[in-house]
Amino acid sequence: MISKTMEQALNKQVNREFYSAYLYLSMSSYFETANMKGFAKWMRIQAKEEQIHALKLYDYLLARGGKANLLDIEAPKGKWSSAGKVFEEVYSHEQKVTGMINALVDLAVKEKDHASFEMLQWFVKEQVEEEEHASGILAQVTCVGDVPGHLFYLDHHLGKRE
């Protein structure tokens, strides 16, 4: 059975993953409004992935005899000034999440909770990809700048995400 400390910490992370989903869904709606359908689609898929992350932790908590406490989800902001600003925020948000995952791994070590340590390794690897994708797209958006034709191309490219 999982310790109360770990249970509480993982419940907090479930909430943060759902917040990530909320944030990315909000970004998706911003892009929809700006008529950037490819960016919107990319963000919507990203939001769905964050829900999967949340449920992965939720299922793990239950499998370990823990209790899932679903906490209030903070409202994300809904307005950005450009695609570049959105991706600056995605990248810094993912870096923050990496810090949270690392703190959970530290806690698992401290609690001698090998099962949680092992489960969290999936998230450690996932965060490497998340940061790589966010920083990669940020670099592309920055490179393209505000040139409409180039942005249109990038929008088309991002819309190919499945």
Q: What is the binding site for Fe ion (CB under 5 A)? A: 17, 50, 53, 130
* Dist. CA 116–CA 6, nearest whole Å: 8
- Residue 21, Cα to own-chain centre: how many angstroms? 6
Instruction: Name the residue nearer to Fe ion (CB basis): 101 or 151.
Output: 101
The structure tokens 């530290």 sit at 106
Instruction: Name the residue nearer to Fe ion (CB basis): 97 or 151.
Output: 97
- Quote the least distance from Cβ 94 to Fe ion, whole Å: 5
- Quote the least distance from Cβ 148 to Fe ion, whole Å: 29
Q: Is there a contact between 71 and 11 (Cβ–Cβ < 8 Å)?
A: yes
145: helix, strand or coil: coil
* Residue type (1 letter), 38: G
Backbone φ and ψ for 74, nearest 5 degrees, come out as -60, 145
- Residue 51, Cα to own-chain centre: how many angstroms? 9
Instruction: Name the residue nearer to Fe ion (CB basis): 17 or 155.
Output: 17
Instruction: Name the residue nearer to Fe ion (CB basis): 50 or 113.
Output: 50
